[in-house]
Structure 1
């Protein structure tokens, strides 16, 4: 825990001595009255050369001003979805840097002029929405407190204008908007998530249930808590994202009940915790629905609760008879469905017989399949349906009355041709011929497709003869990834784990337990699980496991599963702290094994500092 004032002065010195830096703004906890000894420094760095700082792997640019840097990693923040340079200094100070390209930011000034004079409508809606969303995000960072540390581009005027024009009531912020569509999207996601969680417990895979599924269930729950607080308590409450700073805005009764929702260390306790989660969610969602005149789906709730309370008896014959005919009809009879891929752990052609169906549809008219009416006309026994739309990938998730979950990813056939062109140009090192915007779009879609193909797949339908493309892509994946685990991959995991573990410890020190467990511990477990997977491999079997492809119980040794169960936090702050220490101790053991197997050097100084600091805090609390 260093002196933030000294770090701030050093950042200002860096800015003054760098011709490419035009402004620095600090935000976050260091700008609020609640600042404590663990507060870190979050800054926007306005520069004409962002890549210079993103590519500074050896910290040559920053080391001269900040002293010894214990850890550096660049990640996409799991809350704000922006690229962040995350640093941990030797004295324990955390520093998060978001670089801002001034050539892009300067366009904001012109847009603000149009908006102030009610002329922003002259721009195409797509562009207007894109700019507005970015400015709203920037405003969200600054509104709870900020300081302009350095300014050679008149940042103050731009910031003042943004805070004036984008001022919102808390209830009108994007994360807190409540309407019929948002409510039921959350509602269906929650109940389908609880049912999937239950299915994993039934097949005795509690680790998959906790590490892969529980996170989104809790995210849906806290969103309902947000809405309930604004609707019944105080519309002007300063609600923080994903349950952060819960003690500052949430009802004490709800906070106490939240301690009972985290999965414990055996299946019986996990079943109890998910029922506790459901009881709280039901109370909040029912009160909201009554206030807003929404109609709750009692049949869905009763179905999920009944299955969780009693061991399920799956009638797979019924699943075959009902779902096989309906899905076969789509595959065989719908002419605008051009390609259908099934994917799962084995890529079985008989995936239709399973309780969970995973498919990718390539279609001509994608909007048709993004409407509930389309699917309700196909299936006459839908219990729940969720439609997810995004610029990169669309999906439909359906729960049927017989307990079958159907998860379909929807793609436009035109995009397949774009991906194919991009793939072969990249393969031939002709990427310079690709438009940058299309290149980024195609790269993101290909990354998603890769993850699915790795799981094993079968082509159930192909009317346009493109199946060879998927084979070529899978061959490329296997060819490029079957080498050794690289030091870069290992160290990114290693630094992410220890930095997130440190922040997790800080959140628990502040008793900010919900954000600590649902957001930070989820990230910590992701890195721990990846390291555990690497420990199960030798250098000749590197590509056999992918993070969420198979049930954890299918590949993880029983002894290791028992150790992972001890890392699940629950019940109270002290139990949570102990579970975090168990995570660190297991990670030390496993990362040491992996580093020895693959000949990769550990950064012992980082590991030692974080572990000892966390252990000291735990001993103090005891």
Structure 2
């Protein structure tokens, strides 16, 4: 029997999908469909499936046997698009994400910036029984260029400083893991989001900042990347306080520059108030 390869997985899945009335369209996204940062030996296969009843693919696993022997499989939310995907680790360590969406999701995706950003890096159409994919493709360029980041920036800043105070309260209460989680997860996500905006404002809206943490070390300003060595903590109270302080300092530095580049009001009073509260909680906890 032939060793399983990604090409063979695609071939077998297409044979299954062609006969499956439920499946209306299938595309490849990610590294196996794009020119920039193409697939390497560690890359998976990302399939986006539009089906009349996506739950029949997500919540039943028997159909996977038609593709190959699977060792691990589970459900997870998709990185973008608000959907669910079945992730599968097949024989040979080959991993495939089957992101399954209802047909109605096509009209919603046409106006979702994150989805269009992923699709804009490249897609390969494998099946399109009803010619629905072109309606997404024609929106990619126009919608990406129209995005206004002002409201998102303002909300991110307010969100960050609220959670800085919340993290300090949790540490003072003795909920160290909760405080560390807010600082090292929630607040870091906001920091990286603002950093992504900063990079686009400096380099142009078309500048590729990917999604999530993908290729962060390459698209981010090297001086900012270097500061990330200071902003994560060990599970120790003093260290969490230090990480919180450095995270706040870096976010403030980025916020000021982003507001200047975008000509936005910088909420200095809110920042001062939040910083004062964090400092007062720190002194209480000593």
- Normalised-by-shorter TM-score class: 0.7 to 0.9
In our comparison, the structure showing a higher alpha carbon Rg is 1
* 1:18-417 matched pairs, under 5 angstroms: 18-32=20-34, 33-56=37-60, 59-63=61-65, 65-77=66-78, 79-102=80-103, 104=104, 131=107, 133-137=108-112, 139-153=116-130, 155=131, 158-168=132-142, 170=144, 172-173=146-147, 177-179=148-150, 181-212=151-182, 214-309=184-279, 311-313=282-284
Partner Cα distance (1:178, 1:184) in 2: 9
Partner Cα distance (1:236, 1:71) in 2: 37
The 4+ residue runs of structure 1 with deviation greater than 6 A are none
Q: What does the per-residue CA deviation read over 1:190-214, in whole Å, with 9 as the maximum and x for residues that have no partner? A: 1111111111222232211123554
The CA deviation at 1:25 is 1.0
- Report if the CA contact (8 A) 1:197-1:214 is conserved: no
Partner Cα distance (1:248, 1:101) in 2: 35
- Distance change >3 Å, CA 14–CA 98, structure 1 → 2: same
Structural RMSD (CA): 2.7
* Equivalent position SS for 2:110: helix
- Report if the CA contact (8 A) 1:202-1:312 is conserved: no
- Distance change >3 Å, CA 259–CA 136, structure 1 → 2: farther
The CA deviation at 1:79 is 4.5
- Report if the CA contact (8 A) 1:40-1:93 is conserved: yes
Partner Cα distance (1:99, 1:283) in 2: 40
- Distance change >3 Å, CA 169–CA 251, structure 1 → 2: farther
- Distance change >3 Å, CA 256–CA 170, structure 1 → 2: farther
Structure 2 gap ranges (5+)? none
Q: Which residue of 2 aligns with 1:498?
A: none
Partner Cα distance (1:261, 1:168) in 2: 37
Partner Cα distance (1:25, 1:13) in 2: 14
Structure number having the greater helix percentage: 1
The CA deviation at 1:307 is 4.3
Count, aligned residues: 278
- Distance change >3 Å, CA 15–CA 218, structure 1 → 2: same
The CA deviation at 1:242 is 3.0
The CA deviation at 1:45 is 2.2
Partner Cα distance (2:79, 2:139) in 1: 27
Partner Cα distance (1:171, 1:283) in 2: 27
* Equivalent position SS for 1:264: coil
- Report if the CA contact (8 A) 2:23-2:52 is conserved: yes
The CA deviation at 1:171 is 5.9
Q: Which residue of 1 aligns with 2:7?
A: 5
- Distance change >3 Å, CA 159–CA 171, structure 1 → 2: same
Give the alignment's TM-score, normalised by structure 1.
0.41
- Distance change >3 Å, CA 171–CA 213, structure 1 → 2: farther
